[in-house]
Each structure stands twice: as structure tokens, then as C-alpha cells.
Amino acid sequence: MAAKPYIVALEEHYQDPEVKAHTPGAGGAVAAAIGERLDDLGTLRLREMDEAGIDFQVLSHSIPGLQGVDAATGVPLARRVNDRLAEAVRAHPDRFAAFAALPTADPRAAADELERTVTRLGFKGAMINGLTSGVFHDGERFWPIYERAAALDVPIYIHPALPQQAVVEAYYKDYVQKHPGLLRAGWGFTVETATQGIRFVLSGVFGAYPGLKVILGHMGEGLPFYLWRISHGLRASMNAKTFREVFCEHFYITTSGFFSDPALICCMMEMGIDRILFSVDYPFADNPPATEWTETLPICAEDKEKLLSGNARRLLKL
């Protein structure tokens, strides 16, 4: 009988009570069962990991995190939040690691906090949720964060949050009351975050910091499927490297909340297995369907090992 594969999941969320108090209702209504799991960094979480065969989680704050607070609030709050998360990791170092929460309203302070959490607390990078005050994070005011991430050789995970209100009004208001999921995993999350990914490539930040690594969840928010067409559409203005070349050089993607054989195979054909990492999106997605999906994947054993843990070990230095 083959040994059970070691499984690392790296888009697995929690919420800090102090951040929750500063951002009431910002992430939309959360079911009681999900709220209970977001609040737990111990018995319940570990039991559900064990039941599904997940060995290790990289923890990150749920939406909107510190992107939902101003600079004056966010800078001191970030230190407290990350210190509390570090305590949870220290309590179970064989089961947890962490991505930092960054006060992006003050990018230079955010860069300093990233360095503190990586060098002093052992964090593996950072997660940024959605926009900051309605602004995408590719603008040069945010580049101190990416300069520091490249210098530290840690990735930045770009995660969705609710679309800004102007987008909701223009795109979704006719259907959102009946179909609230349209703003989230149903479409709004994808559009907003894929747009952010495209803007990163066009901004020049990867030219400025060639070592920068960015992670996108949810099978890359659909971008792997569109790489050929985006590259073709931008061929006249991107001369040195194609969009596809830049994307495949600097981006990693995860399977969070997206357990589809055709989608995985498409991403493998476009990007290669070395750029794809297993994730669940716990507790917004359940652990068992994610790990059960991996049991019948139409890929070889070597590629499955890379997907389930090998790529994460390499990227995050686990």
C-alpha cells in the first residue's frame, strides 16, 4: 500500500478578533459555521485537517484584513495581529506557518512589517486582500513592499476581496440581491483579482524587481486560460517579453476553491506543474472535497508530489 502523500495547503484563512472589530461586515455575511472556523487556530482546525489528511497549513488573514483599515490604525495593528499569529504557529510548528498581514495604506511601514515578520517571526511571505481605499496595489506607491519581498525572497499572495462599490453598481447590481455569490466566488472576486494580476505585469514592477514572486489563488483567477489571448492582444506594446513570458516567470497559482481536472490540466499545459500549489481555501471551501479530488488526478506520481507539497516546500522554504 502506497504511503499517504504529505499535503501542504497555503490559502487557509483565519480572522483576528481585533481586525474583525475594525472591519465589521466588510467581508459580507459569514455563516456561523464558517465564522467558528475562522476564529479557531487550534482543536477544531487541527481535527478537520486530520480528518481530510492535510498535514500542514499556511495561515493568512481573511478578507479584507488590514486592507480595510487606514494607515494610522493599520500600522500598529499589524504588529499586534502578526505577533498573535506567530503565537499560534509556535503552538503547533509542525502543522502551521504564516503569511503576514500588511498595513498597505502605509506601504513603507508595510515593507518594514514584512521584513520583521519574515526575519524575526519566520513568516513565509504576506497576503494582500483586494484593494486599499479603492486603489489597486500595482501603483508605484506600493513598490516598497515588492522591493522588500524580492530582497527577502518571499512571495506576495494576492487574494480577492469584494469589488469596489462603483464596479458593483456598474456590473452586478441587477443580480446581486438574488445571487449574492456573484460578487464573490461566482465572478466578482475573479474579475477584480485577475485585473490586478494583469496590472502587475503591465506596471513594470517585475522589471524593477526581477526576483519578485506573486501567488494567485483559484487556479490563477482564470489568467492561465487567457495567456495566449492576452499576449496576442498586447503584442504591439509588449516587445521585450510577452505577457505570457512575464506571467509564467513571476507568478505561482494555487488550487484554492477550484477542484477541477480540466482546469488543472490547462494550467499545467500553460505554466508547468512547478508553478502550481495545492490549497483548499478553508473554511470557505471544505477540506474533504479538496483532498478527495487529489486522489484521482490524471497526473503522474512525481507531478502529484510537487502539487501537494514539493512546490510549496521549495517556494516557501518549509
Q: Which residues are tagged catalytic?
A: 281
499556511: which residue's cell? 58
Phi, psi of 131 (to 5 degrees): -105, 165
Q: What is the rounded CA–CA span in Å between residue 100 and residue 122? A: 10
Instruction: State the cell numbers at 38.
Output: 475562522
At residue 19's C-alpha, the angle toward residues 189 and 143, to 5°, is 60
User: Which residues 6+ apart lie within 8 Å of 80 measured at CB?
Assistant: 18
